[in-house]
Structure 1
């Protein structure tokens, strides 16, 4: 009977430790997700030609459209959607 009780206590302890570890890793991930990390340079990395890169600002008839790494910000997205509604 003592073996069964020991097994139950050890199993419960492992479950608690696993839940604590999962909660801690989520907090760490949330803290680091806001920081921008530069991608490491790999052995087979090809440099992007200057003419292919997406500009951060683009002057159009809609106004100035801005983006970061080709992804439009909220204001630019709203301008484009408003233009589509016309």
Structure 2
């Protein structure tokens, strides 16, 4: 699977300007609580996220609360780089 434009821009910035990692971590951290609240509200509705799986089954449903774990892990990875 290829990278989207936003991912390519972020990767380019991180490679050319390593101090941007700290700025990115700060930005993500400041929005982290808001994202978590929004995801919890979605989770409370009982709706499921449709996720494409490379397995032959195709799309899978998973609770939105699984996004919180991914968000937390992503933030921790970025923070560990700075």
- TM tier, shorter chain? under 0.3
Bigger Rg, structure 1 or 2: 1
Please identify which structure carries the higher helix content: 2
Greater length-normalized contact order (CA 8 Å, ≥ 6 residues apart): 2
TM-score (norm 1): 0.26
